[in-house]
Amino acid sequence: LYLSPAVASGSAQVQQLPFLETTEGTGINITCSHPKKLSGDVVHFYRQLPGRAPEFLALAARGSKDVAAVGGHLWVSEDGRSSALWLGWPRRGDAAVYSCALGP
C-alpha cells in the first residue's frame, strides 16, 4: 500500500508518511496528523488505484466508523488532531495511494 506525501487543505496542514507497506492479509493503520484542524473541519480519506481517478472512502469529525470499501475503520481522535484508517485484510487490489485531507 502506498501513501501520498503530505498535502495541505486551506490553512490547515495534513501530514502523512510518504510510504507504507504491508503484506496481503496483514492489517495496517494509515495515520494522519492534522494539528491545525479547525473546529468546522472534517477529515476525508481517499484512495487512488493505479490508472484510476481518486475514490472517496469516508469522512468523520471525531470518533470511529466502519469503512466497507476497504473492510476497515476510520478513527479520528477526540481532539481532532490525528486520524487513522485501518485496513483489516488488505488484498493486492488495495495497493493504492491513500490520502487524507481536511475540509467542510
Domains of the chain: 28-103 (2.60.40.10)
Q: What is the pLDDT of residue 26?
A: 83
| Whole-prediction pTM | 0.79
What cell was used for 61?
A: 469529525
DSSP helix/strand/coil, 68? helix
Helix %, strand %, coil % of the chain (to 5)? 5, 50, 45
User: Phi and psi for 78 in degrees, rounded to 5?
Assistant: -60, -35
All residues at 6 or more sequence positions from 51 whose CB lies less than 8 Å from its CB, including other chains:
none
User: Phi and psi for 12 in degrees, rounded to 5?
Assistant: -95, 120
Least confident of 10-14, 42-46, 68-72, 82-86: 10-14
Tell which wins on pLDDT, 38 or 47.
Answer: 47
